[in-house]
Structure 1
Amino acid sequence: MKKILVATDYSESAGNAVQYGVSLANHFGSLLSLVSAVEEPYSAAAGALVDIKDHIREEAMTTMGKVKEEVTPQLRNGATIDTHTVDGDPGPTITRVAKAKGYDLIVMGTKGSTAARELFTGSVANSVIKNSKLPVLAVPQQVAFHDFKRIVLSVDERPLASADVLRPLLDLVRAYKAELIVYHGDVDGDKKGYDPQLPTYLSGVNHRFEVRSGDTDKISTGIQKAVKLHSADLLCMIYHDHGFFGRLFNESTVSKVVFDSSVPLLVLQD
């Protein structure tokens, strides 16, 4: 995990994301990039449009410069930091930049929104999770920084494409010397359980399994209960891009957890 992108608009939620980015960069000796997407402002006059956009970009660079000054003394283990502004709608732009520049992880803040809970594409975080092929760490606005000591991995019945899907999570578990709790809610009662390869994939890290019966309409509630029960510092979920109907179901569950989570959420891409 040598290149970490922190997407920021410098709201309170973005500030929390920066702190998690710093911690990760320090553990892995990473390049930490602060990236701000500058959207096209609404204006009737073309000249005014250019002036406004330039002003927004200058403000973003100034703010990021101040954050860089604050963060630099906190870096260790060979970690470094740089800053960038890019033009475009934040969701697609962050996704494009992360892919083009070869980042290993995207970190971003989230804010709860009733409307966005109903529409998976209704937020920047959900847009990035849905369209990026990279792992995304979504940090809720209200969450103060904590080291990852206990992590809950929520899994369903679908098999993973390969062990590589879990590699970012396993890197975190090892780097933070965390305990991993694998939670599976048996929502349909068929007792098929999780991917039988999981124990093999997780060999070599401190982990244990927990299977509970559940209700199809309460998947996100069951996940949050597991997080609270185990006093987890991080929740991890897997976004499956397997088939239209399976994807819709997966999007709905991940979306609810993104906005309701009481801890940072790491979304892995399958």
Structure 2
Amino acid sequence: MRHVLVPTDLSSPADNALEYARLLAEEFSARLTLVYIHSLPRDPLRIGEVSSELYQQQEKALHARAERLRDQGLEVDIHIQLGKPIGRLKRLIYRNPFDLVVMGCQGENQVAGRFFGSTTTALMDEVTVPILAVPAGFPPAFPRALMWATDQRPVRNAKTLYPLYELVERATTELRVFHYQESGEKKLPDERFKELLAEVRHDFFYQLADGDTVEGAIREFVQLTGVDLITVIHRQSTWLSRLIVASNTREIIWRSPVPVLILQEVTTLSSVAS
């Protein structure tokens, strides 16, 4: 983990996510890139009315945050752009070798800001870089009690899990692998899970289907065990699987009381068919 992108709207929830990113950057000696997207007017004919004074104020605020981080010994770049958040962020991610994107999200019982929440969940459908969603009210701290909320399918490529491996290596506790086992499912772990976690301190936890939702079961596990980071796999193989899997992922992200690490598994149609 060497380069972390932190989109911001300069709000308090965004600053909370930035503080979390700072902790990660310090732990991994990573570079930070801060980006602010100045939204365009909805009416294309009014683009020229974008306030230069407001633009300069936001640029000054972004520079101030970057300088505070630099004063703490971190390497920091900044970008301020004009346009639509998703499109601009996609372009920035495609053109730069970021290892992680850290963003704010709605979180438990929080009101979504004008930039975060929907942007976080929309972006995960558009890029392959891992995304870390930090709830607005979560006190930033380096994760020490990590959880992987998994379904029946292990990832095809261990590289997908590398960011999680790195975090577990720095933590002082075992990775908690949690599975909500629905009726008719094969019991975990199968041999592939054992291979993936062979070099990782871990323990498996199962919950048999009891009428609760997957998202509800995960929330209860977090509360009972003190988990401070949830990891989920977001698969982008086909439009149908994206629709099914992403719906669960979105619920977890929007309602999670702790940060959620979204690892992207990209597969082709041919690999899915096989």
Question: Is TM (by shorter chain) over 0.5?
Answer: yes
The CA RMSD over aligned residues, in Å, is 2.4
The alignment of Structure 1 onto Structure 2 pairs a total of residues equal to 261
Q: In the TM superposition, what are the counterparts of 1:75-86 in structure 2 within 5 Å?
A: 75=73, 79-86=74-81
Matched, 1:183 2:181: no
Q: In the TM superposition, what are the counterparts of 1:85-164 in structure 2 within 5 Å?
A: 85-111=80-106, 123-164=118-159
After TM superposition, give the deviation of residue 127 of structure 1 in Å: 0.9
Letter in 2 for 1:39: S
Letter in 2 for 1:31: R
After TM superposition, give the deviation of residue 230 of structure 1 in Å: 1.3
Letter in 1 for 2:5: L
Matched, 1:18 2:18: yes
Indicate which of 30, 52, 55 corresponds to 2:50: 52
Letter in 2 for 1:60: Q
Matched, 1:64 2:62: yes
Indicate which of 224, 236, 247 corresponds to 2:219: 224
Structure 1 runs not aligned, ≥5 long = none
What do the CA deviations read for 1:87-124 (whole angstroms, capped 9, x no partner)?
A: 2211232122122111110000012599x99xxxx810
1:228–1:59 Cα change, 3 Å: same
Whether contact under 8 Å (2:108, 2:255) holds in the other structure is no
What do the CA deviations read for 1:193-231 (whole angstroms, capped 9, x no partner)?
A: 355312221222221111111257601111111111210
Letter in 2 for 1:52: V
Distance in 1, matches of 2:165 and 2:196, equals 9
Distance in 1, matches of 2:185 and 2:201, equals 28
Aligned to 2:194: 199
Distance in 2, matches of 1:216 and 1:246, equals 23
Distance in 1, matches of 2:143 and 2:173, equals 6
Distance in 1, matches of 2:118 and 2:188, equals 32
1:126–1:204 Cα change, 3 Å: same
**SS at the partner of 1:131?**
coil
Letter in 1 for 2:233: I
Distance in 2, matches of 1:252 and 1:194, equals 24
What do the CA deviations read for 1:41-91 (whole angstroms, capped 9, x no partner)?
A: 245864xx334253443222111111122222333xxx4112111222112
**SS at the partner of 2:125?**
helix
Aligned to 1:32: 32
**SS at the partner of 1:158?**
coil
Indicate which of 59, 67, 74 corresponds to 2:72: 74
**SS at the partner of 1:245?**
helix
What do the CA deviations read for 1:124-144 (whole angstroms, capped 9, x no partner)?
A: 001111111010000010111
Give the share of equivalent positions with the same residue, in percent: 29
Indicate which of 217, 228, 231 corresponds to 1:236: 231
Whether contact under 8 Å (1:38, 1:53) holds in the other structure is no
Whether contact under 8 Å (1:189, 1:213) holds in the other structure is no
After TM superposition, give the deviation of residue 178 of structure 1 in Å: 4.2
Distance in 1, matches of 2:256 and 2:108, equals 12
Whether contact under 8 Å (1:37, 1:87) holds in the other structure is yes
TM-score by length of 1: 0.88
After TM superposition, give the deviation of residue 259 of structure 1 in Å: 0.9
